[in-house]
Structure 1
Amino acid sequence: MNDPKVTRRQVLVLGGVTLGMGAVTVTGLSVPAWADSTAAGVELVPVGASPVAVLPGVGVQPAAFPRQLAVQVRHAGADLPAGTEVALTYDPRLYSPLPAAVATVGGRLLRTTSSVTTDPRTALATCTVTVAETVAAGSDPVVVVGTAFPVLYPRDLVVGPSNATAAVARRHGKPSGRRSLQPRRPGTFGGVATPWGLEVSGVWSRCVWANGERWYYYPVQVTLQSVGPGPVPAAAAFSLALDPQVVRDVSITTARLNHKTHDAGVRVLSQTRTASLFETRWSTRVRLKTGDRLDLCLEVRTRQPKGDLPTIKHPSVGLIGMGDHVTQRQTGRTSMSRIDAVWE
């Protein structure tokens, strides 16, 4: 899956969403999708807030997918009888179902049952939610069955993602009249694009005090690796956040591009020092191509604390200002940290 020449695969850029298991709040209802022929007087309204972007190949426009697998069931003219079924079909590579689907009216959870089946021919999953109580006319429930999840590299290249759809049926009838839940594509998703990604890794050293009973880790090398398939759209830049009680100063001594000494044009963008944070922000002139690796060696001057510290700022290294995040692959490694210090 690392082949930078693969052009028929899709890149997902999925924001994380957490749905609580108590009350579920859903916003962003769009225009009605349709009045289903098998459930007269019922119309389904998809949830279209904050769609996630899917890039269906190299050199094409990112498409929009629902962030939440959710739909509102409107039935103004009559009660929604017990036994009504709402079925949402989705691509399991893009979505994660809730342990149990939920339906809410005005913040109240309705009594429901749900089941998930998979079509062996298409590999699509369908969650069917059965409402176990009568819902009064005008009380339009929102059915939520899952949410998009960040698909991490190298599995973030997905062939042919399928649209999410929904259908409704009354009194245990078979849901039919299926329609798409795809939201409108935001203009902010931009035009044609090529996916790109970066991984951050490095090497750590340790400052020890109190006769070896206390210690703190700090980075001595930062590595940025481009995973492609496209080049990184901006010059490599990153930040270092350290504890000023332990770290006095940081400088970058050498740079290597693809294991060869390189004039990376490293410079300090800014420096912040408070009682609890020492942060430096760095830029380079290097625009990494597919497969490129940039190693930056750090010289870190440390202090020797006299004893226990009241608090600690765990060290972290992270990318900054790296351009178009809609087409950035989700490597899951855009930062690194250590939390295993002993300071008290």
Structure 2
Amino acid sequence: MDNSKLTRRQVLVLGGLTLGVGAVTVTGLSGPAWADSAADVVLVPVGASPVAVLPGVGVQPAAFPRQLAVQVKHAGADLPAGTEVSVTYDPRLYSPLPAAVATVGDRLLRTTSGITTNPKTALATCTVTVAEPVAAGSDPVVVVGTAYPVLYPRDLVVGPADATAAVGRKNVKPSGRLSLRPRRPGTFGGVAMPWGLEVSGVWSRYEWANGTRWYYFPAQITLQSVGPGPVPAVAAFSIALDPQVVRDVSVTTTRLNHKTHDAGVRLLSQTRTASLLETHWSTRIKLKSGDRLDLGLEVRTRKPTGDLPTIKHPSVGLIDMGNHVTQRQTGQTLMSRTDAVWE
């Protein structure tokens, strides 16, 4: 894989990753390829704000590194060309870079890399080979990939595997591996019941200028609870519209699981400027797994006199929904449209 297309700015970002506090010494690297056979090489995990992974129902959210990255410290000896750093990871959690990179400060080292998959464990291993010698004290940072958001329904990752790293010489098996798992923040909480909400709805279109200009606004909002646990807070949402086209908006009907229901909808706040009409709404309903809440809207429009200089695209999103560590990544906590024609 080729990393020659990285910009200097990208190299600076990758080279400036914060180092973690854990370290492991990997020995057994002696041999003619090493300048000092007695020197140890130490791998230091790269620390950044960890990501929470929901392994399932009734367990604690787990902490995993945001980047698959390590620093190779070798104060007592040069690293010879051919040094290999391998990082093993769970492909359900991480996306590899198009080409792994190794940096020293703002300089990109010449490397090659390849990925293999263990057919028994399904874990992937990226092996990075440094193609040039690295002087003692110049400790390269090797970056292999990054965590990516796993969306519902595959976001509950049962038995996620730790990412690990090792360093060695080509065709020589390393004597130890370093776990890259960070310390678990206390804010991740205890045993959790994952929950999730999806926002969807129905759009209406308002036209002017003989149908050559138009703007969309929500006519119905649907909040769908995907479980497995109940939503820990009452359903609340915001509606953002363009006041050049919309005078006001109100919630006129509510249905819970397709039946008329008094959801206790109330207006929390309204912000009106020359370019934004935003309203925040709350209900008194905590949705259980499988519940569906439909809210019918009445939107009063105003007719623009002609073309508009700018437009605020309409959007509806969740607000104030409680513990986001246990909230499932549905990918549908906001709905919007960007296909208005206003000029």
TM-score of Structure 1 vs Structure 2, range by shorter chain: over 0.9
2:27 is aligned, of 34, 37, 48, to: 37
Give the conservation status (yes or no) of the 8 Å contact 2:54–2:155: no
Give the conservation status (yes or no) of the 8 Å contact 1:246–1:304: yes
Give distance in 2, aligned partners of 1:96 and 1:45.
21
Give distance in 2, aligned partners of 1:25 and 1:276.
41
SS of alignment partner, residue 188 of structure 1: helix
Q: Could you tell me which amino acid in structure 2 is paired with residue 49 of structure 1? A: A
Partner of 1:242: 241
Does residue 194 (structure 1) correspond to residue 161 (structure 2)? The answer is no
SS of alignment partner, residue 305 of structure 2: coil
Does residue 24 (structure 1) correspond to residue 14 (structure 2)? The answer is yes
Give the conservation status (yes or no) of the 8 Å contact 2:16–2:105: no
Larger Rg: 2
In the TM superposition, what are the counterparts of 1:26-105 in structure 2 within 5 Å?
26-39=16-29, 40-105=39-104
TM-score by length of 2: 0.92
Q: Could you tell me which amino acid in structure 2 is paired with residue 31 of structure 1? A: V
CA distance change for structure 1 residues 120 and 191 in 2, over 3 Å: closer, same or farther? Answer: same
The superposition leaves residues 291-329 of structure 1 with CA deviations (integer Å, 9 ceiling, x where unpaired) of 000000000000001110000000000000101111100
Partner of 2:216: 217
What is the percentage of aligned positions where both structures have the same residue? 81
TM-score by length of 1: 0.92
Give distance in 2, aligned partners of 1:32 and 1:42.
14
The superposition leaves residues 231-290 of structure 1 with CA deviations (integer Å, 9 ceiling, x where unpaired) of 000000000010000000000001000011111111111100111111000000010000
Give distance in 2, aligned partners of 1:25 and 1:249.
50
Structure 1, unaligned runs of 5 or more: 1-18
Q: Could you tell me which amino acid in structure 1 is paired with residue 77 of structure 2? A: A
Give the conservation status (yes or no) of the 8 Å contact 1:102–1:143: yes
Give the conservation status (yes or no) of the 8 Å contact 1:23–1:108: no
Partner of 1:159: 158
Moved more, 139-148 or 27-36: 27-36
Give the conservation status (yes or no) of the 8 Å contact 1:26–1:47: no
Give distance in 2, aligned partners of 1:59 and 1:23.
38
SS of alignment partner, residue 343 of structure 1: coil
SS of alignment partner, residue 217 of structure 1: strand
Q: CA deviation at 1:172?
A: 5.2
The superposition leaves residues 188-245 of structure 1 with CA deviations (integer Å, 9 ceiling, x where unpaired) of 1111110000000000001100000000000010000000000000000000010000
Give distance in 2, aligned partners of 1:274 and 1:21.
42
In the TM superposition, what are the counterparts of 1:161-310 in structure 2 within 5 Å?
161-170=160-169, 173-310=172-309
Q: CA deviation at 1:44?
A: 0.4
Partner of 1:4: none
In the TM superposition, what are the counterparts of 1:111-150 in structure 2 within 5 Å?
111-150=110-149
Give distance in 1, aligned partners of 2:81 and 2:307.
63
Give distance in 1, aligned partners of 2:193 and 2:28.
43
Give distance in 1, aligned partners of 2:342 and 2:175.
62
Instruction: Work out the number of aligned pairs and report it.
Output: 326
The superposition leaves residues 4-48 of structure 1 with CA deviations (integer Å, 9 ceiling, x where unpaired) of xxxxxxxxxxxxxxx947752443312242111233421000112
Give distance in 2, aligned partners of 1:245 and 1:114.
54
SS of alignment partner, residue 68 of structure 2: strand
Give distance in 1, aligned partners of 2:58 and 2:157.
16
SS of alignment partner, residue 216 of structure 1: strand
RMSD: 1.4
Give the conservation status (yes or no) of the 8 Å contact 1:85–1:168: yes
Structure 2, unaligned runs of 5 or more: 1-8, 30-38
Q: CA deviation at 1:54?
A: 1.6
SS of alignment partner, residue 24 of structure 1: helix
